[in-house]
Amino acid sequence: MRIIPFIASAVISSGLVVVLNTTLVLPAPLGKLLSPQHGIWQNAEAADKDFTADLTFPGLNGKVEVYLDERLVPHVFAEQENDAYFVQGYLHAKFRLWQMEFQTHAAAGRLSEIVGDKDPHILNLDRMMRRLGMVYSAEISQKEVEKDEAMKAECDAYTAGVNAYIETLTESKLPIEYKMLGYAPEKWTNLKTALFLKYMSLDLAGHDEDFEMTNARSFFSADDFVKLYPALQDSLDPVIPKGTPFAKQTVFPKAPVSVDSAYLNNKDIVYTEEQKPDRDNGSNNWAVSGKKTKSGAPILCNDPHLGLNLPSLWYEMQISTPGFNAYGATFPGAPGVVIGFNDSCAFGFTNGGRDVRDYYEIKFKDDKREEYLFNGEWKKTRWRIDSIKIKDKKDFIDSVAYVQLGNDWCPVMYDKSYSGGRNTNNKNYAVRWKAHDPSDELKIFNLLDRAKNYADYSTAVTNLHTPGQNCAFACKNGDIAIRTQGEWPAKWKGQGDFIMPGTDTSYLWQGMIPQDEVPFQYNPERGFISSANQKPVDESYPYYMGRNYPPYRGITINKRLAAMNNITVDDMKALQTDNYNMPAATILPLLIKHVKENELNADEKKYFGLLQHWDLRNDVGSKGATVFEVLWKNFLDTVYSDEYAKAPKVIERPFGGTLIEGLLKDSAYKFLDDISTPQKETLADEVTIAFKKSSAELKTAEANGKLEWEKYKGTAITHLLRIPALSRLNLPIGGGINTINAAIETHGPSWRMIVQLTPQTEAWGVYPGGQNGNPGSKYSDTFVDQWVAGKYYPLWMMTKGEEKDARVKWKMSFSK
């Protein structure tokens, strides 16, 4: 009978051989993953790991000393500037290599190459990236950067540093994600750095609403359209205050003669849709003059709101060279300090939010698409043949047509072969995106890192073309400033809101807003500058700025700063993490007044009581915040669902503040009436219906233990591979989309920084992550709890002579 256990053992052994050596379970063979010598066990980092190292590289020109502090923040001291960039590249790769490669693979449309096509959305995403022209634009940018000898040398040094680390890797030392996905890193290039920066351009300046707005224009009457999508908010408190004089206009864009019939009143419906950057990508920044601070020195604050991921977007470090000494947040994938401070000044950014991505309908001669109509002539198409590699499959060949619109070659992103998952009715749409133009965004960071005064800041920021940003500045000499910087198309009113005809020059951009007409503030009388992604200017500015901007964080910040004096760093910490809900404060009294309380049952009255006694703060533990959030969501649906019931699926919903401003103007707001019923509904009818719907949802949330705001919201910092075990889930943090502390589900303050420019700079900061991208390291998420609690770390600008300071834990030496 011994044959039976033998057979059983053989079957089990064979099964294990199959399981451990195939990719049926995971993208990489399970056996390799579990190998004690080379597998994931090798990624478990000892809690007392020693990062001390003495390294030699022939490409260096001098010595570089790196002092790692107790938070694993490197303080880099280099005898030669480009050696500092080499070491920055080495450190980025040592602690964040997989993240750097994964993000640039995504930008290049190469994810199918490493994860395969089991999820069809991956190939669709790769095609979208290529058809948008991400690699095309990165190639143009790389050429522009490399025209500048100094910037080329900077990039070359950074790339060499990344590759120097890659060359040290063995199979056992590969980051765990490579092992899980079953691939290995490739050499870094300057093109990859350009791709990463284009990835950030997409994230910050790639959002568009052209298709959605085109359908809204076609579906609604002109009167309703203006009510639902106003070009200007009554509540607007712009980045550049009302009444600020602007430079005289010198570029005068003219609307085409056919604008009414072919554009504003065109009733065509379009169907295409794509994955878009998060429209909530925003930020806060402000600087207060020493006239308003207790210390008499300016204070600059910045908290960019971006996706919450592990590894984090940011990597904290100090870089000290003979030419500059800077500290702050850096991008793994690019050289320099991006948001931070130096020995003289501090600088920070918020997203400009303007529309620099427009679509044009192209008319091809026939289905071959070899010629297209432009200015009455058939022009020759250019082709970019993309071969998309798919893991374990044949390559996917995607042929993308490029058409010349004026002086610009633009990819035909949508055609009969690609519609982004929707039917385009065989129409062809080319995309004109400002990020396709030559630019050298790295230069702004190179110059800011060494800026000493306002003139240096002004010279530096004019190098920023795309993504356009609100660039805040403060200096030890007392200056504060902000500039709504970018290379912005000079548009006629309404240009780019909808898809435009692409058969002649009349709808093309007619020039850029001159840099001396870009709105800015310098040492304003009110004693502070600020931005929070609101519209940059009021209607007195001569150029068209678009329609959709979030107003409420800007209103809150400006009110608070205007009322404050003798400001301290602690005041700024409290403001940066503030959870006051301005839109709720604005509209809630009207809603409460009109709820038909006599029609509510016992459960509904309980939730109504929570709303009545809510303190208007989205704090941890608040139940009233949850009640309001659920009520507002259902109220929006109750008010507008009837108007949109027969609308195209791809359509813009009303802007964020539209309903609030509509009700404040007129409590008999037109859209309160449900057009699907014979009677005429009132505000009281609609808000009561919405409250009853909300109460049922709130009862379920309460039964699931999720009535408290932070539990209902469920903020998470997710690993880039969306693996729960490698993520931080259900974090107890307050805030919300319209609070200064804009922490929502997977998006929020990605780097909080406060810099007081006293003679000895005092700075504080925190980001939701950790310095080491290895999930097996205790330094992978060490800052998360501090970030959640609204606390900060002192940012230590180390100086020579402090090498024996107790904060220094390890030293890495680099030499020839």
Q: Please, is 223 exposed, middle or buried when counting C-beta atoms within 10 Å of its C-beta (0-12, 13-18, 19+)? A: exposed
Residues in the chain: 816
For range 378-383, the mean pLDDT:
98
Mean pLDDT of the chain: 93
Place of tokens 């923040």: 73
Angle at Cα 595 formed by Cα 589 and Cα 601, nearest 5°?
135
Count Cβ atoms below 10 Å from residue 482 Cβ, excluding itself: 28
Q: How far apart are CA 744 and CA 603, in angstroms?
A: 27
The identity of residue 314, as a single letter, is W
The pLDDT tens digits for 595-645 are: 999 999 999 999 999 999 999 999 999 999 999 999 999 999 999 999 999
For range 45-53, the mean pLDDT:
94
The pLDDT tens digits for 68-109 are: 999 999 999 999 999 999 999 999 999 999 999 999 999 999
pTM: 0.94
Measured in Å, how far apart are the chain's first and last C-alpha atoms? Answer: 70
The pLDDT tens digits for 466-475 are: 999 999 999 9
* 237: phi then psi, degrees, rounded to nearest 5: -120, 90
- pLDDT for 6 equals 41
Angle at Cα 764 formed by Cα 759 and Cα 767, nearest 5°?
150
In this structure, the dihedral spanned by the alpha carbons of residues 84, 90, 96 and 99, taken in order and rounded to 10 degrees, is 100
Peptide bond just before 29 cis, omega within 30 deg: no
* 502: phi then psi, degrees, rounded to nearest 5: -115, 30
Q: How far apart are CA 271 and CA 647, in angstroms?
A: 12
- pLDDT for 361 equals 97
Q: Which structure tokens are listed for 200?
A: 């950030």
Q: How far apart are CA 194 and CA 154, in angstroms?
A: 13
Task: Read off the pLDDT band of 135 (50, 70, 90).
Answer: very high
Pairing of strands 469-475, 371-374: unpaired
Q: How far apart are CA 639 and CA 631, in angstroms?
A: 12
- pLDDT for 11 equals 47
For range 544-557, the mean pLDDT:
96
Q: Which structure tokens are listed for 259?
A: 């604008």
- pLDDT for 396 equals 96
Peptide bond just before 5 cis, omega within 30 deg: no
Is the sign of the CA dihedral 27, 33, 38, 42 positive or negative?
Answer: positive
Q: Which structure tokens are listed for 158?
A: 């950074």
For range 516-545, the mean pLDDT:
97
Is 4 a residue whose pLDDT tops 80?
no
CB-based contact 470:344 (threshold 8 Å): no
Please name the residues in contact with 662: beta carbons below 8 A apart, sequence gap of 6 or more.
Answer: 227, 669, 670, 671
